Amino acid sequence: MNAIRVVRPGFQTSVQDLGRFGHAHQGVSASGAADALALRAANLLVGNAENAAALEMTLVGGAFEFESEAVVALTGSDFAAGLPLWTAVELKAGGVVRCGASQSGARCYLAVRGGIDAPKVLGSASTHLLTGVGGRALRAGDVLPIGEAAVRRPKRGSVAPPQFSRDVLRVTAGPQAEWFGDELYQGCYTVQEESNRMGLRLRGPAIPSPAGMMLTEGVSLGAIQVPPDGQPILLFVEHQTTGGYPKPAAVISADLTRVGQLRPRDTVRFELVTLDQALAWLQEQERWLYSLI
């Protein structure tokens, strides 16, 4: 069988694709890759459809044995695998990709030509770690069959990864923006240890939060909510579908890739931009991505 065997799972490795859509009204958030841009790039490099399932590693990577010849690509942060990043690499049968601790950001993606043939739950192979919808984090001994998601030839040579600093996150105004002053844009905020795929807890100068009555309402990926203690929480891929805290801003789609690479103790500042600017940066990012085909 053409499969990947998990020799060592690493700190928290899961199967992810681009997410599970269409079930928010049942309380199910999309989940999917924390750095979707890196996952899509890894898939395009090995010649897969961009939504193919791949492995997402967090902070400390694992070791994965390939039973047959395979073409793989590592993207995202440098997890010291001894293989070139952002490059399609051929492995021999029995080859092992051994990753270590991150040398840069929070996440590294390992895509294989053909994709991982994980069972789809509600239309997606992505793992929602907190609820168990779509499975669980990988364990040593797990065997992952390789699928048939290859749609074109692998990309030759390496590509220059997108360059950006992680210390500025650009945001657009949130639904309760007028309840807030500009405090969110004044200070530096540090990512706390208790952050995860559901949300990033930030700590910095307290933001006066209008503790007024607000009805629970739907929340978006990247929304920044401010509870009464004034310390913002950035809602991420496994976010709750609804919430009752006011939201001064939301991270723009083009910067979600940066959020997926933030580690505990990293610091960020927020910069307010317009919807038109947000769209222009997203289009620029998409042009870079499709240059990989």
Point out which residues bind other proteins (CB under 8 A): 21-28, 30, 121-122, 130-134, 172-175, 215-223, 240-243, 247, 250-253, 275, 278-279, 282-283, 286
**CB closer to other proteins, 75 vs 172:** 172
**Residue carrying structure tokens 């770690």:** 129
Q: Which is nearer to other proteins, 72 or 256 (CB)?
A: 256
> Considering beta carbons, is residue 12 or 285 the nearer one to other proteins?
285
Span between the terminal Cα atoms of the chain, in Å = 29
What interhelical angle do 275-290 and 36-46 show, nearest 10? 20
Closest contact distance (angstroms) between CB of 121 and other proteins is 5
Residue 22 or 84 with smaller CB distance to other proteins: 22
User: How near is the Cβ of 29 to other proteins at its closest, in Å?
Assistant: 8
| Rounded least distance, CB 288 to other proteins, Å | 13
Q: Closest separation between CB of residue 19 and other proteins, Å?
A: 8
Angle in degrees, CA 21, 5, 54, rounded to 5: 25
Q: Are strands 233-235 and 223-225 parallel, antiparallel or unpaired?
A: antiparallel
Q: Which is nearer to other proteins, 197 or 247 (CB)?
A: 247
Q: How many CA atoms lie within 13 A of 198 on its CB side?
A: 13
CA dihedral (55, 164, 90, 33) in degrees, to 10, reads 20
Beta carbon nearer to other proteins, 188 or 280 = 280
Least spacing, CB of residue 206 vs other proteins, in Å: 21
Rama region for 115: left / alpha / beta (φ>0; ψ in -120 to 50; rest): left
Phi and psi dihedrals of 106, rounded to 5?
A: -80, -25
Considering the complex, state which of residue 101 and residue 275 has its C-beta at the smaller distance from other proteins.
275
CA 270 and chain centroid, separation: 19
The alpha carbons of the chain give a radius of gyration, in whole angstroms, of: 19
What is the nearest approach in angstroms of other proteins to the Cβ of residue 94?
35
Residue 84 CB, shortest distance to other proteins, in Å, is 29
As measured in angstroms, the least distance from the Cβ of 128 to other proteins is 8
Task: Give the phi and the psi of residue 111 in degrees, each rounded to 5.
Answer: -105, 150
Measured from the CB atom, the residue of 59 and 282 that comes closer to other proteins is 282
Please report which residue ranges of 163-291 form alpha helices under DSSP H. Answer: 256-259, 275-290
Burial per residue of 59-94, b for 16 or more beta-carbon CB atoms within 10 angstroms, e otherwise: bbbbbbbbbeebbbbbbbbbbbbebebbbbbebeee
